[in-house]
Amino acid sequence: MKDYKKFITSFMNSWKRLEGAKTCELFAEKLKYYETPLDAPLCTKAEVVPLWEVVPKNQKDISYTGKILFEDDSHCFYHFNMTRTMTAAGKTQEIDGIMEIKLNAKNQLTYFKQWRAVKEK
């Protein structure tokens, strides 16, 4: 069975530590990555990497909580709450979100879609 808990812990902790390159190590070379549900998916790791390269430059003070809502061998839904400071604006954001995640047999991300509501403080 796929280890969604381990993947999510690694994904969220590398994000929290602003380690974009480490986050990207969790991704398969070919995937479908939806930054928002209405965006066209990015389909290769190379297309996703630039999204994560800017994280250390534009975010700080990240904290999160979350829990897996559902998982089976085909996919997982994860609910998270996060706070972060956007460095350029100096504003703190509160995020309430859901991620749908699919992993391959190597526990690498092959599908990512998130729905989130963002509130600035």
Average pLDDT score over residue span 34-52 = 96
Whole-angstrom Cα distance, residue 14 to residue 24?
9
- 86-92 long-range contacts (CB < 8 A, ≥24 apart) are 86/58, 86/59, 87/57, 87/58, 87/59, 87/60, 88/58, 91/120, 91/121, 92/61, 92/120, 92/121
Residue-range domains of the chain with CATH: 4-120 (3.10.450.50)
Q: What is the pLDDT of residue 1?
A: 74
Q: What is the pLDDT of residue 23?
A: 96
Average pLDDT score over residue span 20-49 = 96
Nearest to 94 by CA among 67, 116, 72: 116
Digit-coded pLDDT (tens) for 48-80: 999 999 999 999 999 999 999 999 999 999 999
Average pLDDT score over residue span 39-50 = 97
